[in-house]
Structure 1
C-alpha cells in the first residue's frame, strides 16, 4: 500500500522554527539527534533551545572547541538569533557551503541554449531541456533560483536536510538507498532514505525528459486547455479503475472542484489516482482499507471502528489527508473527513463533491498558494513563500512520488492528444551544484566516488520510467504498448545505455510488446528483464480469447503455464491462478472491467 504522508510527521523531523538562509558563513551544521541542546556556553547547562533532528544552523567556522566532561569530543559554535550557541560535536554534522560563482562559463552553441542561459539555467540543464524543446516548442521552462526573499538555496544544505532521519521514505531493494542507521518507524515495505537517494531524486537534472518533466508542471494554470479537454485527461488518468467503477461521475466531481478552486483538473486527478488508485479487486470486493476512503462504508466493513461513538460511514477523503505513518491510517483519514464535514448529509453525490472540493482547497491553500505549485515542490519544499516552512510542509514522504505522478500526468495528456498545449514548467536551480547531475554518482554504484560515465542501475531505470521492477520482471505495461514506446521511455532515463527488446526466441521485434519478451538494458550491468502484461498469458501483447483458453487449461491442469506467463495469468495478483483471473480477463475483453497493471 502506497501511502503519502502528511505535514504533521515532518514537523518533528526537520527545520520548523527559525528561518535558515545562507549568509557569509562557509559552514553549516545539521542536528543528528532529538532534543539536542543549543547551549549558551560550554560550561553551563542553560540553553537557547532543544533542537530537532535535521535542524540546520549557520556556523562561524568548523573548529571544535573546549572538550569537557559534558562533551568529551568538544563543541561546535553555531549562530542562533544573533547569539553564539554551542552544540556537542557528537550531535552535529558539519558541511561546507560552496560560495563560488555558479556560472560555469560554458558558451551556448545554439538558440535553445542561449535562451536557457538567459533564463538562468546552468549548462548542465541545457541538453535535456533542449531535447524536450525540440519536440515541444510550445513548452516553456522557468528557472526557479531564489525564494520569495531573494535567497539562493545551497544544494548540499538541502540534501542534508532532506536526508535527516525520517524525513523521506523509499520502497527499494537497494540497501545503498536506505538509511539503516535511522530507526524511525515507516509503513511496511518502506525505509528511511540514504543521502544517496536524496541526491538522486531531488536533482532536477535527472528528470529532464519528456515524461518526468511533468513533475515540474505548474498546477495553478490551465495552459489554455478547456474543461472538456480536461474531462478527457481525467478519464485517461482513471481509465476503468476501481475509482471510476465505484464512482462513474468522478471526472464531473473533479471538474466542479477545479471550477471552484482554480486548480487544474489534471493536478487533482493525478493526486487522487496516486493516493487511492491502486486498490485491488479480490474475492468480489476491493481489498485494502484505503478503499473505504471513497466507498463510504468503513464501519460496515470494519464494525469495531467508530469515532467518539459515531459511525464513519458516508464520509469521504479522496486525498488521504491525515493518513500518516503508523496504524489505523484509514481511520485517521476518515476522522479528518468527519471533523471537516466531508459527508454525513445523506446525499452521497454532494458529499463526495464536498470531499473533493475540500481536499483540493487543502492542496491549494496549504501548498500551491504557499509556493509549492508543482509536484516536485510539494515533495521538496525548497523555495517556500515563508522561510520557516523550508524542508517542512511536504505533502508526501515517499521520495519517488514525483516520478510516478509525472508518469500519470504525461500518459494522460498524451492519450488525450494534448501534448501540444502551452505547458509551463517551473524547475529549481540550486547554488553549489556540481556540473554533472547526481544520476551516475548516486544511483549506479555503492561507491560514492563513482565517475560520471557510469550508468544508473537497471531497477532505477525501470522504476523511474514509470514501470515496475521486481525479481527480474518488468511490469506495469498496458496491453497494446508498442516496443518503441517501451524503448523510448527506458532510454529517456538510461541516457547512453542501450535498450534492446526481443521476443522469447531472441529475435528483435517491433510492434506490440507481450509477456515473455526480453528487455536488455546495457547500463552499469548487462541485465535482461522479462516483460509481464497482466492478463496476457499467451504472450502476444493483447488480452483476448486465447488468454482465456490458456488460463482455463492451467486451472484444469491440461496445459500448465510457467514463468512470466504464469505471473501474467494471475490477473488479480492474489498469488494464484483461478476463476477470478478468468473473470477479470473476460471483463477486460468485454470492456466492462480493466486489469490493473
Structure 2
C-alpha cells in the first residue's frame, strides 16, 4: 500500500512539473463559439505548436480548461466534434457557464401560452435561468418553413465567402459552372450559399444562447439604456473610434455622437447602427466609408445601401453611385460622413424598422409583410451577417443592461423540422447530381437533365423487369437505387439517390408504367394467363393424350388451325409462333 501511495505521489509530481510552464484554471462546463472565419486549433497554448485541426465561425466549442502562453495571452483548450486542442481566447465568445437550475413553473406556463414549440423550450429554460428578467416573445410568422426555405435558396439571395467550406456553397443551377469547375462570383468574392447552411442560419433554435439571442432583440431606439458610451464600446477598435472632419463643411464630429444623432432622427437603436457599420466597413474602413472610391472621391456610403456588384461596376462604386443621388429625406447626396450615417440610418429606419423588420434576423430573412411582400426585402446577403452583428450588440451592453428586462422576438414557423438543422462541417462539395440516367428497353421523359428530378417511362405488358442505369457527376459521389427492378402491372415508382461528398442527397424519381395484358385472350392462350408460352403447348399435348380436360373456351383457343380438334399439329403451330415472336 505504501509503495502504491509513493508511486501515485511521484506520478502526480511529474504531471505537475510538466504543467509548470503555464497557469491553468479549470473552466469545466464552459461553452463558447468561434468568432473567426477559420481558427487554427493547436497542440499547445501558442502559435508555435503544431495544428491539430481548425474550427469555423459560429462553431460551438466545449471549453475544457484555460491557460496562458509565454506572453501572458489567454488560450482555451477546447473540443469541437473530432477536434481537440488549444485556441486563442481572443477568437472565442463565451456563451454560457453551464450552470443548471430547476425550472420555473410560471415560466413553463408562459412558454406554453406564448406558443413556443417543445424544441425551443430547453434553450429558453437555460436563458431564463441565466437572465430571469429577459422577456421572450414567440413571433408567429404564419409562414411555412419549407416555402420560406425554398425562397431563401433562390440563387443570389444568400451568399458565403468564396473561401468557405465547399459544403457551404451552392451547386444549384446558376450558382456553379460544372464545365469550368468553379462557383460564380455574385458580389465580388462571394458566392451562393448552400441549402444546408441557409437552413442552419434560418433555424432560430440554433441561436438561443446568451450571445446570438441578440439577433432577435427589438432594434428600435430606447434612450433608457442605449448610451453613447455603449456606442464607443462597439467602435473602440475600429477606424470609427475617434473623430472626423467633414470634407465639404470642415466640421468636426465624433463617430459615437454621430450614431446617437442618427438614432434620435431615425428611431433605430444606435447600437444596431454602429455594429452594422462596423460589420459592413470592417475595422479599418472600406473605400466607400473613407471617401476614396475612384471616380467618386468624397462620397460616402457607411451602410452599403445599393452597394452590389454588376458586370461593369464594383459594389463600392455602385454604393457611391447611389450616394451621389439626390433625396432630401435621406440627406442625399452623401458628401460627408455625417450625412451618410444619419441619412443611411433614416433609410434603414423607414425601410426596415417601420416595416416590421425590427430585428437583425428579420432584416436578414424577410418573413414579415410590411407592405412589400415576403423574402425579397432583405438588407444583407451574407447568410451569417445577423450572427456577426449579434455578437457586436452584446459586447456593447454593460452588465447592468444585460440584467434588465430586455425583450427578444423569436420567430416561429409553421411546419418546422422536429430537430435542429445542423451546421455543415464537411470539406466535400455538394455535387449530388447524376451524370446520366436511363431505363433499359425504353426511354425516359423528359430527356435527362441533371437539374430535373422527375421522369416517366412506359413498358409493354410482357416486360416484367427493367434495369435502371445511373452514374454520378461528382467524382466522390455515390449512387443508390439503380440496378434491376421488378415491375408490377400499372405504375411503379423507382427512386435513385445520389449522395455528394459532403453527405447531402438528391433523389431522382422515375415512374414506370407497365401496360396491362389484353383483356381478350388470344388464340393459343390455353391457360388464360394472357401470355403464349410452352405451358399452353404442353396442355394441348396432354389433352390429346387424354391426361387432362379442357373446357369449351379452352378448346376453342387451343385449335390453332381451326380444324375442330386439338392435336399435336396445334401444339407445333403454337411453338412455332412462340419462337417467332
The structure number with the bigger radius of gyration is 2
More helix by share: 1
TM-score by length of 2: 0.49
Higher relative contact order (CA 8 A, sep 6+): 1
TM-score by length of 1: 0.48
